[in-house]
Amino acid sequence: MWLEAKAVFTLIAAVLMCAVMIWEMLVSPLIAILLMMALTFIILGDIMIGIKITNNHLQPLMDPNKPNEETCVYFDFAGNLDFIKTIKGSENTRKFVKYKQNATIINNGDYPIRTINGNRGFIGHENYDNNVNLEEAEALDKTDGEDIKEIYAKRVIKSG
């Protein structure tokens, strides 16, 4: 949404600068060339920012969520961080697409977060089908086991 708004403002500025350039071509061609160069750099800067935001999957941090969406701060096996817009499903499930495959994660609401633009969200992990509670994750970091599902299962057995 914000990238589209920025593109519209740049387009309006380009049209206004072109009107000035047409008049300047008659009065001072050097000033007109400088204005064309300035306009080119403005447009190239917008394109570069748009490509960077799109390639790094940062739209969920910029655009507001719809009422049926939540942002998942998603960690994969390699420790990479991704921001995914999820769609609310039945019984606390959140649906999304990852690696061109439909996926589901359960958000229990244990550790709600807000992104920098005010969107509601939660933390998820690739190998765990529930949201991750960071307060519990710190304590579980010192627990035996490799698989996060196994570690959380041990926690439930000990506490239950």
Are both 47 and 70 inside the same structural domain? Answer: no
Q: Which residue has the higher pLDDT, 121 or 2?
A: 121
- Give the model's pLDDT for residue 87: 94
Tokens 């300047």 belong to 24
Are both 97 and 147 inside the same structural domain? Answer: yes
Are both 12 and 70 inside the same structural domain? Answer: no
For residue 6, the enclosing domain spans 2-56
Q: How many domains is the chain partitioned into structurally?
A: 2
61 lies in some domain: no
Q: Please, are residues 84 and 71 in contact by the beta-carbon 8 Å criterion?
A: yes
Residue 151 clears pLDDT 80, i.e. is over it: no
pTM for this one? 0.64
Cα(44)–Cα(157) distance, rounded to whole angstroms?
57
Most confident of 59-63, 109-113, 155-159: 109-113
Torsion of CA 33, 34, 37, 38, to 10 degrees: -140
Closest CA to 58 of 76, 81, 78: 81
- Give the model's pLDDT for residue 94: 92
Are both 153 and 134 inside the same structural domain? Answer: yes
Could you report the per-residue pLDDT of 35-91, keeping only the tens digit for each?
889 889 988 988 898 888 888 888 888 888 999 999 999 888 888 888 999 999 888
Are both 102 and 31 inside the same structural domain? Answer: no
